[in-house]
Amino acid sequence: MFVIFGNYTAPIEEVDSHRDEHLQFIGGLVAAGKIVAVGRRAAGDGSVVILSAESGDAALALFSDDPYIEAGVVEYELAAEFTAGLKAPGLEDYS
């Protein structure tokens, strides 16, 4: 599993102007079983994504069509790779 940080590169008002399209895109990754959890950081300067992928490069590649990327308002970085020792019920298929 991987932790990805999304770091906003534009003022929050500009980021939010693309938010509906971004959330639709992210919803597709959730529905596809790629994203375990995602959300905006409390500081409002970016996001955290926990996801399942074959590699760090594959994890980052999932975001290539993100409307935030296309608008130039975020940069994604691989924060960590980890092996989940315990998983909440319903998350058994994630690795």
What is the CATH number for 63?
A: 3.30.70.1060
Judge whether residue 93 has pLDDT over 90: no
Q: How far apart are CA 72 and CA 59, in angstroms?
A: 19
Domain of residue 7 covers 2-81
Judge whether residue 68 has pLDDT over 80: yes
Tell me, yes or no, if the pTM score tops 0.85. yes
| Amino acid found at 25 | F
15 in a domain, yes or no? yes
7 in a domain, yes or no? yes
- The mean pLDDT of 29-44, rounded to a whole number, is 95
Arithmetic mean of pLDDT over the chain? 95
pLDDT tier for residue 49 given thresholds of 50, 70 and 90: very high
Q: Across the beta sheet with 35-40, what order do the strands follow?
A: 35-40, 46-51, 2-8, 74-81
Strand partners, 39: 48
89 in a domain, yes or no? no
Judge whether residue 1 has pLDDT over 90: yes
91 in a domain, yes or no? no
